């Protein structure tokens, strides 16, 4: 690490705030929260809708750890999406996940429309306990929120579309505030995303925009960087290990290059071995991929230095 490196400042750490930016004439706005079980494709859909990787995606449940705002702006219309951690029934929650899920239900309080996202494959093959629980919670909302039902992962249920239509009819009866049902495949080749985007843009109401037209998220730069590193880590670590990310350097170098130094603190030496790999091959590959993601997202040249450290055990 260069001697002059210092950790990211508050402006890099805190969510971005926008005031006094240009509003278009006849501006329209809507705030939409996504809600659904873990792993159904909420973040993939949000990224597709805003055409940018704002919220990280992985095969692992509970990839989204906090409420993430993503912004879609077209002509005079702006939609702010709240992507949320996947919800699970309360009795199945660990303490950590309880906090995540609380954030999801809280996002609903700020929303004027909901996207209730379902994984079609899961609906046909697995238990729908979580989906039933979601409907119970929706029915109990103090003020009903209009919603759109999104059946995602249609690519995995080819030939069984009739069964999905039947489930859609049942769910529409259960929550009478659905204004539309849309069937999507958020992975290439994408299906239904354009229809979903047009529908969403039809939901805006007159009101001031919350973000300038060019802004796609309010996330801080540091939070986006850490998410992108975490996303690459998830691809390497098959098990839900806890890795603490500590930013130790955020340094502007000559030539408009940003140098980021980050420690990945793990609980046990065995975990370090997995992340570093033989002769450092895993961490090298992970660093290259994360640097490319970060460089694309921040639109600038980036140097990334990742150090894997084992948490010091407390002496008794």
Binding site for ligand GTP (CB under 6 A): 36, 38-44, 57-59, 61-64, 85-86, 152-153, 155-156, 185-187
Which residue number, 59 or 316, has a Cβ lying nearer to ligand GTP?
59
Which residue number, 85 or 249, has a Cβ lying nearer to ligand GTP?
85
Helix (H) or strand (E) holding 78: strand 77-83
Angle at 99 between CA 94 and CA 105, to 5 degrees: 115
- How many angstroms separate the Cα of 41 from the Cα of each of 118, 154, 157, 186, 265? 8, 11, 15, 7, 29
Can you give the binding site for Mg ion, defined by CB under 5 A? 42-43, 63-64
- What does 186 interact with, of ligand GTP, Mg ion, none (CB < 5 to 8 A by kind)? ligand GTP
What is the smallest separation between the CB atom of 86 and Mg ion, expressed in angstroms? 7
- What does 285 interact with, of Mg ion, ligand GTP, none (CB < 5 to 8 A by kind)? none
Q: Which residue has the tokens 């996330």?
A: 219
Q: What is the largest CA-CA distance in the chain?
A: 66
What is the smallest separation between the CB atom of 51 and Mg ion, expressed in angstroms? 17
Between CA 183 and CA 241 the distance in angstroms is 34
What is the smallest separation between the CB atom of 247 and ligand GTP, expressed in angstroms? 23
- What does 204 interact with, of ligand GTP, Mg ion, none (CB < 5 to 8 A by kind)? none
What are residue 185's phi and psi, to 5 degrees? -135, 110
Which residue number, 152 or 204, has a Cβ lying nearer to Mg ion?
152
- How many angstroms separate the Cα of 305 from the Cα of each of 53, 234, 235, 287, 302? 22, 18, 18, 7, 10
- What does 249 interact with, of ligand GTP, Mg ion, none (CB < 5 to 8 A by kind)? none
Which residue number, 93 or 156, has a Cβ lying nearer to ligand GTP?
156
Which residue number, 64 or 217, has a Cβ lying nearer to Mg ion?
64
- What does 44 interact with, of ligand GTP, Mg ion, none (CB < 5 to 8 A by kind)? ligand GTP
- What does 130 interact with, of Mg ion, ligand GTP, none (CB < 5 to 8 A by kind)? none
8-state DSSP, 87? P
Bridge partners (DSSP) listed for residue 119? 152
> 287 with 306: CB under 8 angstroms?
yes
> 87 with 103: CB under 8 angstroms?
no
Which residue number, 68 or 201, has a Cβ lying nearer to ligand GTP?
68
Q: Cβ-closest residue to ligand GTP?
A: 86
């Amino acid at each position: 690490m260069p001697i002059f490196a210092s950790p990211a400042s508050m402006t890099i750490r805190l969510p971005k705030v926008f005031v006094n930016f240009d509003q278009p004439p006849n501006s329209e706005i809507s705030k939409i929260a996504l809600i659904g079980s873990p792993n159904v494709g909420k973040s993939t859909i949000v990224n597709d809708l805003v055409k940018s990787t704002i919220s990280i995606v992985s095969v692992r449940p509970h990839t989204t750890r906090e409420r993430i705002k993503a912004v879609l702006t077209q002509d005079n219309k702006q939609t702010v999406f709240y992507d949320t951690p996947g919800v699970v029934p309360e009795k199945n929650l660990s303490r950590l996940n309880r906090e995540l899920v609380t954030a999801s239900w809280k996002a609903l309080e700020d929303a004027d429309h909901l996207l209730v996202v379902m994984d079609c494959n899961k609906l046909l093959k697995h238990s729908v306990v979580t989906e039933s629980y979601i409907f119970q919670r929706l029915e109990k909302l103090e003020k009903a929120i209009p919603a759109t039902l999104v059946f995602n992962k249609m690519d995995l249920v080819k030939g069984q579309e009739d069964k999905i239509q039947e489930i859609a009819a049942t769910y529409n009866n259960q929550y009478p505030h659905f204004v539309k049902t849309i069937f999507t495949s958020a992975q290439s080749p994408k299906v239904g995303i354009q229809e979903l985007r047009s529908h969403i843009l039809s939901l805006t109401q007159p009101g001031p925009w919350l973000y300038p037209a060019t802004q796609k998220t309010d996330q801080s730069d540091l939070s986006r960087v850490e998410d992108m590193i975490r996303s690459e880590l998830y691809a390497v670590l098959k098990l839900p290990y806890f890795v603490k990310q500590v930013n130790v350097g955020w340094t502007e170098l000559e030539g408009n290059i940003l140098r980021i130094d980050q420690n990945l603190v793990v609980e046990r030496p065995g975990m370090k071995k997995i992340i570093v790999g033989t002769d450092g091959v895993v961490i090298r590959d992970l660093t290259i991929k994360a640097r490319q993601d970060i460089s694309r997202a921040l639109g600038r040249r980036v140097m990334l230095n990742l150090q894997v450290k084992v948490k010091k055990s407390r002496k008794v």
